[in-house]
Amino acid sequence: MTLLAFDEQQSRSLALSVRASALVFEDPVSRRLLEQIERIAPSDATVLIIGETGTGKELVARHIHALSRRSREAFGALNCAALSENLIESELFGHEKGAFTGALATKMGWFETANKGSLFLDEVGDLPLGLQAKLLRVLQEREVVKVGSRHPVPVDVRIIAATNVNLEEAVAAQHFRADLYYRFNVAAIHLAPLRERPGDILPLTRHFLRIYADRLGYGDVKMSPATELALLNYDWPGNIRELENAVHRALLVCPGNCLRPEDFKLSGVRVAEQSQAVSTVSLETSLQRLFDQAPAKLFEIIEETVIRSAFEYCEQNQVQTARMLDISRNVLRHKLGLYGMLPNGQRRAAEQEVA
């Protein structure tokens, strides 16, 4: 098994889960990925990592940094979907004291913090268009201007970006700048979901098993053959993150020192088969009634209904709604602005992004 371990103390200091302590490249798909990483890492090329949520995009970014000439310098990581537009700009570029309410002191942004090192930008597909333009300028000019300042600061940072949305489609829909996409897409790494690299499932399980058993003060814990088979036959829609949580939960509920299939509470059937079995009869019936009525702008009516319903279902959380609908937050914000479902300030910002 190819197990690449990172410094555990460093992982704790960065508030990461145990997923950040190791990478497993046992499956042939993963071994080819490792070869690609080892070719790309020594250069200073910008990297775009494409993969589903929970596949370990940040782990790959950290490994690229560890193999690069910048390995002794800082590694910064920012989730672009987790912050509001104003906060992202301040986090990336920094701000001067008094630049806005609450700016009580001058603060360096991630570009300055990661100077000479690498900066990992996760979920770049959710960057607002206005901020995309500012980020592109930083990449081109290699200098940042803090919020509230007019003086540029030179920076030397390698960008490693990641996304779980199709940026080509976002570019075609004019929700992502084509020039920024080309800047990011110098070296692309497609990270396969866990279901497409089954050879990694059991090695990863054993890795998490050892770590969590040690943390819980357990002795040697094994898995039954039936458990291993159940894990291999499950599709892991949440990828490595779901596997980690499943191992932790199984250890907490297992009555002995041998994990059973029921300890993992898996469905017992492949998720792909479950998704195909989802009933759409009621939806098709409702659509048929709409078709009979043939109202004007039918598609827009359907689309608005879906987005409104999803937004309310997610308790008006934009990030969760975008993920559930598998669209970027930019697209969602634009639609919500059109439907009058954003506060006035956010609505104007969404309109300006499109304009």
For residues 30 and 137, membership in a common domain is answered with yes
**Quick check: is 305 in a domain?**
yes
Residue that terminates a domain, selected from 143, 160, 192: 192
pLDDT band at 160, cuts 50/70/90? Answer: very high
CA 269 and chain centroid, separation: 26
Specify whether 155 is located in the same domain as 298. Answer: no
Cα distance between residue 304 and residue 308, in whole Å = 6
Average pLDDT of the residues in 109-137:
90
Q: What is the pLDDT of residues 312-340, one digit of tens each?
A: 888 888 888 888 888 888 888 888 888 88
Q: Indicate if 257 and 289 belong to the same structural domain.
A: no
Question: Which residue carries 């980020």 as its tokens?
Answer: 135
Q: What pLDDT, on the 0 to 100 scale, is given for residue 17?
A: 39
The domain boundary, picked from 172, 192, 212, lies at: 192
Q: What is the pTM of this model?
A: 0.70
- Does residue 186 sit in the same domain as residue 287? no
Q: Do both 209 and 188 map to the same domain?
A: no
Element (H, E) at 30: helix 28-40
DSSP 214: H
Do 62 and 105 belong to one domain?
Answer: yes
Which CATH number does the domain housing residue 81 bear? 3.40.50.300
- Is there a single domain that holds both residue 227 and residue 186? no
For the segment 169-225, what is each residue's pLDDT rounded down to a tens digit? 889 888 899 999 999 988 999 999 999 999 999 999 999 999 999 988 888 899 999
Question: What 8-state DSSP symbol labels residue 147?
Answer: B
Query: Which range in 109-113, 202-206, 264-268 is most confidently predicted, on average pLDDT?
Result: 202-206
Contact 23, 56 (CB under 8 A): yes
Distance CA 326, CA 129 (A): 19
| Distance, CA of 273 to CA of 34 (rounded, Å) | 30
Asked if residue 293 belongs to a domain, the reply is: yes
Task: Write down the pLDDT at residue 20.
Answer: 41
Give domain status of residue 326, yes or no: yes
Q: Domain check: are 133 and 148 in the same one?
A: yes
- Are 294 and 159 found together in one domain? no
> Per the domain annotation, does 150 fall within a domain?
yes
Total residue length of the chain: 355
Number of alpha carbons in the 13 Å side-chain half-sphere of residue 210: 8
Q: Mean pLDDT throughout 136-144?
A: 91
Q: What is d(CA 184, CA 163) in angstroms, rounded to the nearest whole number?
A: 11
Answer yes or no: is 137 within a domain.
yes
The DSSP string of 142-205 is SEE--BT----EE---EEEEEESS-HHHHHHTTSS-HHHHHHHTTEEEEE--GGG-GGGHHHHH
Does a structural domain hold residue 95?
Answer: yes
Residue 45 CB contacts under 8 Å (≥ 6 apart), including other chains: 186, 187
Among the ranges given (104-118, 124-138, 283-297), the one the predictor scored with the smallest mean pLDDT: 283-297
- The verdict on residue 16 lying in a domain is no
* CATH number of the structural domain spanning residue 323: 1.10.10.60
> Which token pair is 102?
């609450």
Q: Do 211 and 251 have their domain in common?
A: yes
- Residue 274 in any domain: the answer is no
N- to C-terminal Cα separation, the chain: 52
| Residue that terminates a domain, selected from 233, 264, 295 | 264
Share of the chain above pLDDT 70, in %: 86
pLDDT at 280: 64
Look up the CATH number of the domain holding residue 232. 1.10.8.60
Q: Would you state the pLDDT for residue 67?
A: 94
| 60 or 87, which is more confident | 60
Residues 242, 164 share a domain: no
Tokens of residue 97, six digits? 């004291």
Residue 51 clears pLDDT 70, i.e. is over it: yes
- Decide: helix, strand or coil at residue 281: helix
Contact 65, 71 (CB under 8 A): yes
Domain with 217 in it: 198-264
Q: What is the CA radius of gyration of the chain?
A: 23
Q: What are the structure tokens assigned to 165, written together?
A: 């949305």
Distance CA 170, CA 83 (A): 20
Tell me the average pLDDT of the chain: 83
Same-domain pairing of 205 and 182? no
Closest Cα to residue 92, out of 177, 25, 153?
153
Beta strands in the chain (DSSP E): 3-5, 22-24, 47-51, 75-79, 94-95, 107-108, 118-122, 143-144, 153-154, 158-163, 187-191, 222-223, 258-259
pLDDT-derived band at 267, boundaries 50, 70, 90: low
Which of 22-36, 98-112, 215-229, 341-355 has the least mean pLDDT?
Answer: 341-355
For residue 323 the two structure tokens come to 């993920």
Task: Name every residue whose Cβ is closer than 8 Å to that of residue 157 and which is 6 or more positions away in sequence.
Answer: 111, 114, 115, 116, 117, 118, 119
The count of structural domains within the chain is 3
